[in-house]
Amino acid sequence: MLEAIGGAIALAVLGWLSTVGRTRSDRRRILKWLRANTRDEPGESHVSAAVIAKGTTVDEGRVRTACLKEPMIHRATGRDGVEIWSVWRPEPQSVYEKRGILIVGGGHR
């Protein structure tokens, strides 16, 4: 009876260690991918979990888990309500930040 309980506990610990190791590996992989495939520029700093999943071949659920556990990855909500992730900044910057507001029409003749 004690052997069965010990075996079950050992199996549970191994399962937990495997999950922790996989999440740590996913975190490193995603962090590296984000640094290589995004930039600290308007419209280029944040991407969705689906884009990360496609680029890293990590399942979207695991991408979200890894991003939530990695303090260097920031979560924001995009205009369409989708979670977006970045290593550069917590909130996406405006596309008008660098060039200013573009006025169309009117003015000079």
Q: What is the pLDDT of residues 48-104, one digit of tens each?
A: 999 999 999 999 999 999 999 999 999 999 989 999 999 999 998 877 766 556 567
Each domain of the chain, given as residue ranges in start order, spans 2-86
pTM value? 0.74
- For the domain bounded by 2-86, which CATH number is listed? 1.10.10
All residues at 6 or more sequence positions from 78 whose CB lies less than 8 Å from its CB, including other chains: 46, 48, 84, 92
Q: What does the pLDDT read at residue 49?
A: 96
Residue 4: pLDDT band (50, 70, 90) is confident
Number of C-beta neighbours around residue 68 at 10 A: 14
Residue 107: pLDDT band (50, 70, 90) is low
73/70 Cα distance (integer angstroms): 6
Across residues 34-58, what is the average pLDDT? 95
